[in-house]
Amino acid sequence: MSESRIESDGLGEIPVDDERYWGAQTQRALENFPHVKPRMPLEVCHAYGHIKKAAARAHVSLGDLDPEEAGAIVQACDEVVAGELDDQFPLLVWQSGSGTQTNMNVNEVVANRANELLGSPRGSKEPIHPNDDVNRGQSSNDSFVTAMHIAAYTTIINLTIPQVEGLVAAIEDKALEWQNVVKSGRTHLQDATPLTVGQEWQAWADSLRDAVDNLRQANDGLLPLALGGTAVGSGLNTTKEFVTAAIANVAEQTGFPFTEAKNHFVANATVDRLVRAHSALKDLAVTLFKVTQDLRWLGSGPATGLGELRFPANEPGSSIMPGKVNPSQAEVMLMMCAEVIGADTTVSISGAEGNFQLNVMRPVVIYHVLESAKLLGSGAGAMRTKFVEGMELNLTKIDDYVGRSAMLVTALAPTIGYDLATRIAHKSVEEDIPLRDAAIELGVASELYDRTIDPVKLTTPDER
Rounded mean pLDDT of 451-456?
92
Whether 28 is in a domain gets the answer yes
Strands 354-355 and 358-359: what pairing? Answer: antiparallel
Whether 290 is in a domain gets the answer yes
Q: What is the SS3 assignment for 362?
A: helix
Please say which residue of 81, 112, 136 terminates a domain.
136
Q: How does pLDDT run across 323-350, given as a tens digit for each residue?
A: 888 999 999 999 999 999 999 999 999 9
Whether 11 is in a domain gets the answer no
pLDDT band at 279 (very low <50, low <70, confident <90, very high): very high
Q: Are residues 194 and 319 in the same domain?
A: yes
Q: Are residues 385 and 413 in the same domain?
A: no
Whether 367 is in a domain gets the answer yes
**Bridge partners, residue 6, by sequence:** 15
Q: How does pLDDT run across 94-143, given as a tens digit for each residue?
A: 999 999 999 999 999 999 999 999 999 999 999 999 999 999 999 999 99
Number of domains, the chain = 3
Question: What would the DSSP string read from start to end of 245-269?
Answer: HHHHHHHHHHTS--EE-S-HHHHHH
Amino acid at 89: F
Rounded Cα–Cα distance for residues 391 and 178 (Å): 12
Q: Is 315 within 8 Å of 328 (Cβ atoms)?
A: yes
Q: Is 284 within 8 Å of 212 (Cβ atoms)?
A: yes
Is 318 marked active-site? yes
Q: Residue 100: what pLDDT? A: 97
Q: Are residues 182 and 296 in the same domain?
A: yes
Whether 121 is in a domain gets the answer yes
Whether 242 is in a domain gets the answer no
Find the radius of gyration of the CA atoms of the chain: 30
Long-range contacts (CB closer than 8 Å, 24 or more residues apart) made by 454-461: 455/182, 455/194, 455/402, 455/408, 456/180, 456/182, 458/193, 458/194, 458/408, 458/410, 458/411, 459/182, 459/194, 459/195, 459/196, 459/199
Query: What is the phi/psi pair of residue 7, to 5°?
Result: -110, 160
Amino acid at 411: A
Residue 305 belongs to domain spanning: 144-223+265-395
Q: What is the SS3 assignment for 227?
A: coil
Q: Are residues 172 and 315 in the same domain?
A: yes
CA dihedral 381, 386, 389, 395 (to 10 degrees): -140
Cis (ω within 30 of 0) for the bond into 121?
no
The residue from 8, 35, 234, 318 that is catalytic is: 318
Lowest-confidence region among 24-33, 258-267, 387-396: 24-33
Whether 286 is in a domain gets the answer yes
Q: Residue 1: what pLDDT? A: 52
Task: List all residues 6 or more positions away from 399 whose beta carbon is below 8 Å from its beta carbon.
Answer: none
Rounded mean pLDDT of 233-249?
98
Whether 339 is in a domain gets the answer yes
Q: Is 372 within 8 Å of 278 (Cβ atoms)?
A: yes
Of all residues in the chain, the percent with pLDDT exceeding 70 is: 99
Q: Are residues 318 and 200 in the same domain?
A: yes
Please say which residue of 84, 109, 136 terminates a domain.
136
Burial 271-281 (b: 16+ CB within 10 A, else e): bebbbbbbbbb
The CATH number given to whatever domain includes residue 162 is 1.20.200.10
The CATH number given to whatever domain includes residue 418 is 1.10.40.30
| Residue 387 pLDDT greater than 90, yes or no | yes
Rounded mean pLDDT of 226-244?
98
Q: Residue 462: what pLDDT? A: 74
Q: Residue 32: what pLDDT? A: 86
Q: Are residues 38 and 180 in the same domain?
A: no
Is 188 marked active-site? yes
Q: What is the SS3 assignment for 456?
A: coil
- How does the average pLDDT of the chain come out, rounded? 96
Q: Is 307 within 8 Å of 397 (Cβ atoms)?
A: yes
Residue count (the chain): 464
Q: How does pLDDT run across 366-386, given as a tens digit for each residue?
A: 999 999 999 999 999 999 999
Q: Residue 328: what pLDDT? A: 93
Q: Is 425 within 8 Å of 411 (Cβ atoms)?
A: no
| Residue 392 pLDDT greater than 70, yes or no | yes
Q: Are residues 72 and 48 in the same domain?
A: yes
Q: How does pLDDT run across 142-188, given as a tens digit for each residue?
A: 999 999 999 999 999 999 999 999 999 999 999 999 999 999 999 99
Rounded Cα–Cα distance for residues 98 and 389 (Å): 44
The CATH number given to whatever domain includes residue 92 is 1.10.275.10
Q: Are residues 127 and 155 in the same domain?
A: no
Of all residues in the chain, the percent with pLDDT exceeding 90 is: 92
Q: Are residues 116 and 152 in the same domain?
A: no
Q: Is 279 within 8 Å of 218 (Cβ atoms)?
A: yes
Q: Are residues 453 and 351 in the same domain?
A: no
Q: Are residues 80 and 161 in the same domain?
A: no
Q: Are residues 116 and 183 in the same domain?
A: no
Please say which residue of 136, 165, 182 terminates a domain.
136
The whole model's pTM is what? 0.93
Q: Is 435 within 8 Å of 428 (Cβ atoms)?
A: yes
Q: Which of 107, 106, 134 lies closest to 45 in space, CA to CA?
A: 106
pLDDT band at 463 (very low <50, low <70, confident <90, very high): low
Rounded Cα–Cα distance for residues 25 and 135 (Å): 14
Cα dist from 18 to 1, 22, 33, 88, whole Å: 11, 9, 21, 12
Q: How does pLDDT run across 426-441, given as a tens digit for each residue?
A: 999 999 999 999 999 9
Amino acid at 210: D
Q: Residue 317: what pLDDT? A: 82
CA angle in degrees (0–180, nearest 5) for 407-196-449: 40
